[in-house]
Amino acid sequence: MAGVPPKKGNAFSFTTALTSQADTKLLKANPTLAAGDVLVSKDYGAFANLATLPDAEPDAGYAIRVQLSATEMDADVVTVLFHDAAGAEIGDLGFRESELRQHCLAVRTQIICCTDFPRR
């Protein structure tokens, strides 16, 4: 995960999961994300498409890798919005930079807890 915690002007990536519009209790595997589905706003400005469209990692999985460029992170407040512009595949989801920081620190803590056990 690049740049945990997220910092202004530095590229940053994080992983999230998206819900299915058909059943919001379920995660959507390998969602089809197109231009206009994932947007970024800097300092509460107008939303624009991400430079790199998020994708499932591993392929066909539930984890969605989001990569923000240094330019997209060059703001005091960065907001990422998922919204299915074409229809009914994914549920809406949004993150602000402070939420990304908390989300990624929580994920990082879980990874540390799961992988950094002492070897015997």
What is the CB neighbour count within 10 angstroms for residue 116?
A: 7
Residue linked to tokens 């400005």: 45
**Predicted model pTM:** 0.75
Say yes or no to pLDDT of 109 above 60. no
Q: Are 13 and 74 in contact (CB under 8 A)?
A: no
For 19-60, how does the pLDDT look when each residue is reduced to its tens digit (9 = 90+)? 888 888 888 899 989 999 999 999 889 999 999 999 998 888
Q: What is the largest CA-CA distance in the chain?
A: 53
Alpha carbon distance 45, 67 (integer Å): 19
Alpha carbon distance 42, 44 (integer Å): 5
